[in-house]
Chains A and B, each alone.
Chain A
Amino acid sequence: MLQSKSFVKKTKQGRVVKVVREHYLRDDIYCGAPSCKVCDTSASRLSNSASTILIVDTNVVLHQIDLLENPAIDDVVVLSVVLEEVRNKNLSVFNRLKALCTNSLRKFFVFSNEHHKDTYVKEMVGESPNDRNDRAIRVAAHWYQSHLGENTQILLITNDRENKRRAVEEGISAETVESYVRSLGKPDLLDLVVLSSSADVNMEDVEDHRPSKKKVIYSEHKPMSEITSGLLCGIYHQGKFRVNRYNPFEAYVGSESIGDEIVIYGRANMNRAFDGDIVAVELLPQDQWHDGKSMIITEDEDDEEEDVHLAPSSADDAPRSVNPVQPTTESVPPVSNRPAGRVVGIIKRNWHSYCGSLEPMPMPAGNAGVAHALFVSKDRRIPKIRIQTRQLENLLDKRIIVAVDSWDCLSRYPSGHYVRTIGQIGDRDTESEVLLIENDINSRPFSTQVLACLPPLPWSLSSEDLANPNREDLRHLRVFSVDPPGCKDIDDALHCKPLGNGNFEVGVHIADVTNFVLPGTPLDEEASQRGTSVYLVERRIDMLPKPLTEDICSLRSDVERLAFSVIWEMTPDAEIVSTRFTKSAIKSCAALSYVEAQARMDDSRLIDPVTTDLRNLNTLAKIMRLRRIKRGALTLASPEVKFQIDTETHDPLDIGMYQIREANQMIEEFMLAANISVAEKILNHFPLCSLLRRHPSPTKEMLEPLLRTAAAIGLDLDVSSSKALADSLDRAVGEDPYFNKLIRILATRCMTQAVYFSSGDLSPSEFYHYGLAALLYTHFTSPIRRYADVIVHRLLAAALGIAKLPPIFQDGPQLTGIADNLNYRHRNAQMASRASVELHTLIYFRKRPTDTEARIVKIKSNGFIVFVPKFGIEGPVYLVPKGNNGSDWVVDEAHQRVTKVGTNIRYNILQTVKIHMEVVEPQPNRPKLQLTLI
């Protein structure tokens, strides 16, 4: 049907310039009720037996989205006028509403009332847009009622008194959210209802016992018009508000207008901004640009003490505070040259829902079962949130999700409402879910649309695959893989063949994932969104569905698989003579573990072909590695913890450091080489749209903690280049064997992580990978578990002329968006892994108090931070009991040591100490790991 004859044409009129737009009204829009006798019911979404159909207004959607998301609410008609208003007012709520409307399990139907000939309303003279939209909602409700007849009740849900009154006048049933939820007879649903602000005032009285606090706590936010003009004339600066992960009283606003980060110290200056909000900031006078330490002490909030956590593996994990020790003698805070500011207004809120638990509190007496409680988010960057609940007793020992509703300047804390319960605090499954939610990781099963993209199982190599002229048959080669034990998603394999001329042919074969994941399919979209597989201690959340990761793409032994191969000819000195790339078919002859491979190489009696290949590869890898280190690549170290997990209870049985063997390094070396070769090839063909990976050089400021430690122990580190740093790290040898490793660990945690980017966004000099000392780098070798590699596979295939480049690569901003998402997902996956290890460490020590050795890595005024090499964790050891300020310990900043006054007892940085580790519960249901000196 090219043109519907039933069109009626109306025009809307604009303001200053007369804009005439066509607005077509139609008679082919259906009501969505399956029982309807008039409409085409093939696309209906409401339930068959719906006796009540709800129509919601815009404010109900904006404020009660958590309630709408609850499965108890169904058979909802969302009018397009509501949809449009929500889209304009709050994009994140709009996206949630959209997800509801497209979720096949929910019965939400979108009715295009604005394009229906019977429900379109024209704005009347003198009518405000809001009134017009309210009227449109009532007209649509009326249409529904008369369209569906008496058997179905149409219920308009609105909290707007005037709208409700008019609706009733016009003969439409209407109720407020609260009265409707009450009529459902599910008391716990009431917790989800956001109460109107009038109820808020009563709440304040109940909750705030301290009379002195009944005053304005925060300064009023400036009105939007003032902010806009302030931004224009440069008094205010706009930027994203980011709270220090390790110090919730310190935040940064990256400002383009002053080209620097503005630091914001303390809750008063932060003025109710949340992490991620877009805020307007005013600079403080320069004499107030001191470091925030003194202000934190005056903060009368309960002091945030440091927890035992996993040792950071990069600067992104570590606290950002530059100056951990405040000289005690100094009374005037030193003036710093970092601009400090305060938030004057919030341009865009980043409120969403948060995971955490309620602050322990006694059960209140009476009050009709309604209790006011404070919610503490697991994410320390989020302030406590006040909520009202009727099920306090139930919630106290639970992990729950809470959403923020408002924060006025009279309240110390924002107020919010309960969304749902995850489970018991401390329970492994609950806590695992919490860390997934916190890190925005999608662990839902793959949808049917995604699974429909998989090839039929069982899959096997077909004759068509082999007949493809672009695919080389390499099944005759002796290909094998080396991976961690128990690895099921094998994405790389190798071969090494001596050539007649004394050279070697070395091949790296990577699972040909893009043969199955085609651009633009639901499978591809899902993988692109997930970005990476996530590895938790006890489970793995896949980027691609299991049949692909563990079977079709996994390069298991003795099965024929499709691969994308990089094949070099190398001299015995590991010089690359030639490089070629091809899609291939391979058949791996052995899937070895690192231990097995290592054992084979070490056992001199073995002379079988695979072992010989391994030894040849290892020889080449050693040369390549040496050359790389000579070039200035850093051998960095980060403690990696490994758990042995009980197969039935999934509880950790043993914990220890992951051992790096020569075999690991050998595989790593060839993967690096393959990635570099591919990076060169794709950049050569697509200089503007290649996805590469860069590692920015650390700044002097970032290396500061390392340099201070080194200075204290008399170690001379040259950080002028990665080469210089690598050399001085090599020279740093202490009396004990672990010293060098420790220094490397400290160096590693000063660096930021490498990031993905699109080559069109930066200049070639910025492509540099500092850690690897490589001019170019990308990710090609793990397409099963990283989406970046999938993109790179497509780029390489297009560069070889065997596939078309998907259109997305011509869209610069979209490509940048993909790279940003990959970095975000990557980062979150790492944080989730770390959180999972921390969780299991806690579970492990719960039953096993342990004595062990630790190294002091940071000196504090009341103790020090130790690093426990054996378990990869670090945490505080207190010399003074908490709350005791009259300390008799003195910190020596220059030598990084703390001495007890009048005695010889002192602790130096990097010193070895014996500690006791034990799980304690200072508050019920809040277990934590405690370190004490013995």
Chain B
Amino acid sequence: MEYVDSLTGFRLDGRRPNDMRQIRGEIGVVAKADGSALFEMGNTKVIAAIYGPREVQNKGQQANNQALVRCEYSMANFSTGDRTRRPKGDRRSTEISLVIRQTMEACILTHLMPHSQVILIEFLVHILLKFFMYFLPKICFLQIDIFVQVLQADGGTRSACINAATLALADAGIPMRDIVTSCSAGYLSSTPLLDLNYIEDSAGGPDVTVGILAKTDKVTLLQMDAKLPMDIFENVMQLAIEGCKAIAHYIRGVLLENTKQLECRRGI
């Protein structure tokens, strides 16, 4: 099958190799959660909800001097065409949960939140907090729960989950080093392709998922489950990084817009 038309240069859905699908992010979609967001990449739609920081429920899990980050990934039964009932905690979900947790951990300033019950919004508060803590008779540990669920799957769910989680964490006001964004790129018909959709993903070619810290350009996630010659891999990865940057640009816009609205409501 030809995934890039050799005559017109278009992919099956009408994109050029370097085009991303339409992306959309929305903040505050789950009122009960401390932070939440919806993120769409084409037909892939995921929702993320954040609970916390709150006190660690299971004392055994607590980490030293750091807030505990937990992540639960799931796919809605209606998210794919076949509507099969999926068992919770299968291998794939566990793996993706782990990937998301590790990626988010890398950007959350977990060390700023040990032993605290206070939601931190700004760095300045942190200094006050240390003063405050001095008076706390009991030391308690904090945890952040990230729930992501795939509502509709069409390739690139992993990336969409990370992007949604980033938005939701920001919504929850959890201090982050930088915003982390993710995007995938593949290699089909001898062409690097940005942001594979499900059909392209099912072609079985190499699929590189990258997560970066947008400001510092640091790669925090890199996954590939196929072989690629080094020079081609570098091109594909570079393309995925470009995709991450474009998403970061968009997410910043969403956050900015959201802040403006908040300011409006507060009447500033």
> Chain A residues in contact with chain B, CB under 8 A?
1-4, 7, 9, 17-26, 80, 83, 98, 101-102, 110, 112, 114-115, 804, 807, 810
Contacts and interface: CB of A to CB of B under 8 A. Distances in A.
Nearest to A78: B7
Contact of B13 (A4, A21, A83): A21
B199 A3 contact: no
Given A2-B243, A2-B246, A21 B199 contact: yes
A80 B194 CA distance: 23
30 contacts: A1-B18, A2-B18, A2-B20, A2-B243, A2-B246, A3-B19, A3-B22, A3-B246, A17-B81, A20-B43, A21-B12, A21-B13, A21-B199, A22-B14, A22-B22, A23-B13, A23-B14, A24-B14, A24-B15, A24-B19, A26-B14, A80-B5, A83-B7, A112-B5, A112-B10, A115-B14, A807-B228, A807-B229, A807-B232, A810-B227
Interface of B: 5-8, 10, 12-15, 18-23, 42-43, 81-82, 154, 194, 197, 199, 227-229, 232, 242-243, 246
Contact of A110 (B8, B21, B154): B8
B8 A112 contact: yes
A90 to B, nearest CB: 16
A9 B22 contact: yes
A17 B83 CA distance: 10
A20 B154 contact: yes
Given A18-B81, A21-B199, A83-B7, A804 B229 contact: yes
| A24, A98, A101, A807 — most chain B CB neighbours (10 Å) | A24
Nearest to A17: B81
Contacts of B6: 98
Contacts of A83: 7
Contacts of B197: 21-22
Contact of A25 (B12, B14, B228, B246): B14
Contacts of B232: 807
Given A112-B10, A807-B229, A807-B232, A22 B42 contact: yes
Given A98-B7, A807-B229, 12 more contacts: A1-B19, A2-B18, A2-B19, A2-B194, A17-B82, A20-B154, A22-B197, A24-B14, A24-B22, A25-B14, A101-B7, A112-B10
Nearest to B245: A2
Contacts of B154: 20, 22
Contact of A4 (B5, B19, B227): B19
B82 A102 contact: no
A20 B151 CA distance: 14
A82 to B, nearest CB: 11
A96 to B, nearest CB: 13
Contacts of A115: 8, 10, 14
A112 B9 CA distance: 10
A9 B23 CA distance: 11
B77 to A, nearest CB: 15
Contacts of A21: 12-13, 43, 197, 199
Contacts of A804: 229
Contacts of A7: 22
Nearest to B42: A22
Given A80-B8, A102-B7, A110-B8, A22 B13 contact: yes
A19 B81 contact: yes
Chain A: interface secondary structure?
mixed
Given A804-B229, A807-B229, A24 B13 contact: yes
Contacts of B23: 3
Contacts of B243: 2
Contacts of A112: 5, 8, 10, 14
A19 B81 CA distance: 7
A107 to B, nearest CB: 14
A2 B8 CA distance: 18
Contacts of B5: 80, 112
A540 to B, nearest CB: 32
A102 B5 CA distance: 13
Nearest to B9: A112
Contacts of A9: 22
A642 B189 CA distance: 47
A182 to B, nearest CB: 30
B199 A110 contact: no
| B5, B82, B199, B227 — most chain A CB neighbours (10 Å) | B5
Contacts of B43: 20-22
A91 to B, nearest CB: 12
Contacts of B82: 17
A766 B20 CA distance: 49
| A17, A23, A25, A115 — most chain B CB neighbours (10 Å) | A115
Contacts of A4: 19
A810 B8 CA distance: 28
Contacts of B199: 21
Nearest to A115: B14
Contacts of A19: 81
A17 B43 CA distance: 16
Contacts of A98: 6-7
Contacts of B15: 24
B7 A22 contact: no
A114 B14 contact: yes
Contacts of B13: 21-24
A302 B18 CA distance: 63
Nearest to B2: A87
Given A22-B13, A23-B14, A110-B7, A3 B20 contact: yes
A259 B197 CA distance: 42
B235 to A, nearest CB: 13
B138 to A, nearest CB: 51
Contacts of B20: 2-3
A114 B242 CA distance: 28
Contacts of B229: 804, 807
A112 B7 CA distance: 9
B6 to A, nearest CB: 7
A810 to B, nearest CB: 7
A807 B227 CA distance: 10
B242 A2 contact: yes
B21 A22 contact: yes
A19 B5 CA distance: 22
Contacts of A23: 13-14
A698 B7 CA distance: 47
Nearest to B229: A807
A279 to B, nearest CB: 26
Contacts of A807: 228-229, 232
Contacts of B228: 807
A826 B108 CA distance: 64
Contacts of A18: 81
| A3, A19, A80 — most chain B CB neighbours (10 Å) | A3
Contacts of B19: 1-4, 24
A161 B265 CA distance: 65
A118 to B, nearest CB: 14
B190 to A, nearest CB: 9
A17 B7 CA distance: 31
A83 B7 CA distance: 10
Nearest to B199: A21
Nearest to B246: A2
A22 B14 CA distance: 9
Contacts of A110: 7-8
Contacts of B18: 1-2
B42 to A, nearest CB: 5
Nearest to B6: A98
A83 B12 CA distance: 13
Nearest to B80: A17
Contacts of B227: 810
Contacts of B8: 80, 110, 112, 115
Contacts of A3: 19-20, 22-23, 246
Nearest to A16: B81
A24 B10 CA distance: 10
Contacts of A1: 18-19
| A2, A17, A80, A114 — most chain B CB neighbours (10 Å) | A2
